[in-house]
Structure 1
Amino acid sequence: MAGTGRRPIPLSPPDAVTVAQARASRDVRVVRHLRSGLVLRLSDADGLTRASVHGEIDFDSADLLERVLSGALLAAPRGLHVDLGSVGFFDCAGLNALLRVCAQAGPGGGELTVTAISAAVARVLDLTQTWLAFPLAAAPEDRAVPSVLPLHRARPA
């Protein structure tokens, strides 16, 4: 297209991520992973960011989850609250992404707090015994955290 005065429109790769401003509120950002369908909704209020995660977190989408949550945590002086209650599938790639984001939290930055978990997330946390790595907030009365406790299995003698 050289010489025509037009610039070519760059084509997005099939795994591209789209970010759109939600029309309902200026403070809500929606991030979608096009291949997997993972959706993150982020809202900011008074230095605290809330992230609601919907869909499946696997090897394909874990990198996006980590990048978005890391950026939100760095930009939120009062911390990041993550709702994983609508996650239908969660594997070790998702767990590793969350652990890396948690490692960024702490001194000099905000804290990551998990406000809700799904059964899929609870199962991975139980199998890997990583419950203590994620501070769980008290559940709001209108949205309860699933009553899932870590299973303590007896070991064979």
Structure 2
Amino acid sequence: MASPAGAGAAPGGLQIQVSPVGGRMRVTIRGEIDLSVRATLQAVLQEALTRSTHGVDLDLSGSAFCDCSGLNCFLAVRHRALPTGKTVSIQTASPLVRRLLDLTETWPLFA
């Protein structure tokens, strides 16, 4: 599992890199986001949120696929961030991930 200090490979070849940028944590995800990587993704996002001062920025430009379990991970970490005054934003997304966010009308939640 990746830690906020570096990078790592999750199940299914998913690659996650977490790095601090000011008071935020930048989480870069490469590969397919599906049910097989849900637990790892949840753990990494929660740790990044905990270590951040202001929130988490996601780079999903290298994610060729994201199913509803991945979207639910993003929504869950956003839900945990809001009461603490933190935010979760999606800085970039691949066309397929952007389409999922558009179809589910969730893109504005991460703007």
Global fold match (TM > 0.5): yes
Q: Which has the higher contact order (CA 8 A, sep 6+)?
A: 2
Q: How does 1:127-138 map to 2 (within 5 A)?
A: 127-135=103-111
**Which residue pairs with 1:37 in the alignment?**
13
Runs of 5+ consecutive residues of structure 2 not aligned to the other structure? none
RMSD across aligned positions (CA): 1.8
SS in 2 for 1:52: strand
Runs of 5+ consecutive residues of structure 1 not aligned to the other structure? 1-16, 21-26, 136-157
Identify the match of residue 95 of structure 2 among 119, 125, 134: 119
Q: Which has the larger radius of gyration?
A: 1
Q: How does 1:101-112 map to 2 (within 5 A)?
A: 101-112=77-88
Residue 134 of structure 1: how far off its partner (Å):
1.5
Counterpart CA distance in 1 for 2:37 and 2:85 is: 25
Larger helix share, 1 or 2: 2
- 1:82, 1:113 within 8 Å by CA — same for their partners in 2? yes
Residue 63 of structure 1: how far off its partner (Å):
2.0
**Which residue pairs with 2:50 in the alignment?**
74
Poorly superposed stretches of 4+, deviation over 3 Å: none
Counterpart CA distance in 2 for 1:109 and 1:72 is: 15
Larger strand share, 1 or 2: 2
